[in-house]
Amino acid sequence: MHIKLRKFIASILAFVLSISVVGFKEISKIYAYESNKSEIDRIVLTNNELTTYKGLDIAKHQYDMTKMNEKERDLYNILLEKEYERQESSLDKQGVSKEEFINELKMILGNDYLVKQDSMIKYKAKGKKKATRLISVGALGSALNIVITATLIATGVGSIGELVKKLGKQGAKKWVKKHLSSKIVSVLTRVGAKTLGKWIGSFVVSIIDTYLDPGTFLAKKFDSVDIVPNSGYIELW
């Protein structure tokens, strides 16, 4: 009798433990989602900001602040600030200041990213030719984040996540292909990597699954098909 009772109690304990493990896993999922949601909320425009700046198209000025009105400049500065916040941890590790980071983004987006032949970093690739480093994946990714967000705001949407909610995944894919492709190729052209634009059709639609950092995701995609794949830089002959 005592043996049966012990077996019964053991089975009950095992059952309770299994429920606890499942419950813990579910709580972990919820916590992970909430943490992720908090990060998204931190780096995208608030509802009030979106209402204020909805419909503004700063891209039409080629990101030249001298051609923007006060409201457009405010929006551009907010996007630059939020992009810094997005990359702050990584930048701190690299010793890159906020001012340096934002100034570089302004140069890239404002057509002032002048890559001089004598200042390019050249090194031996696997063959006899030398590859040229045009821009880091991090810098390109941040520039693309600005372009992506600015384009979304111009049409009244604050983030990739909101776009998917509004149009569904298939609709969002069509939207980004139509509205973002040429703008992303334009950035590639500014940094001397126009030839990578041939990949835009297959790459751009994949950003709908990367809410937090779509620009860096794209930059890594371009890095995977350049002369020296996955090196952390965009490199061409």
**pLDDT score, position 211:** 74
What amino acid occupies position 100? E
> How far apart, in whole angstroms, are the C-alpha atoms of residue 59 and residue 93?
31
Provide the 10 A C-beta neighbour count for residue 102.
Answer: 16
Interval 13-22 mean pLDDT = 45
Report DSSP state, residue 133: E
Would you place residue 9 in the very low, low, confident or very high pLDDT band (cuts 50, 70, 90)?
Answer: low
Token pair 């043996």 in the structure block, residue: 3
Phi–psi pair at 118, nearest 5 degrees: -80, -10
**pLDDT score, position 230:** 95
Q: Bigger pLDDT: 158 or 20?
A: 158
User: With left for phi above 0 and alpha for psi between -120 and 50, is residue 192 left, alpha or beta?
Assistant: left
Token pair 């001089």 in the structure block, residue: 116
Per-residue model confidence as pLDDT tens digits over 164-195 = 989 999 999 999 999 999 999 999 998 889 99
The number of angstroms, rounded, from the C-alpha of 186 to the middle of its chain's C-alpha atoms is: 17
**pLDDT score, position 121:** 44
Query: Which of 39-43, 59-63, 99-103, 146-150 shows the lowest per-residue confidence on average (mean pLDDT)?
Result: 39-43
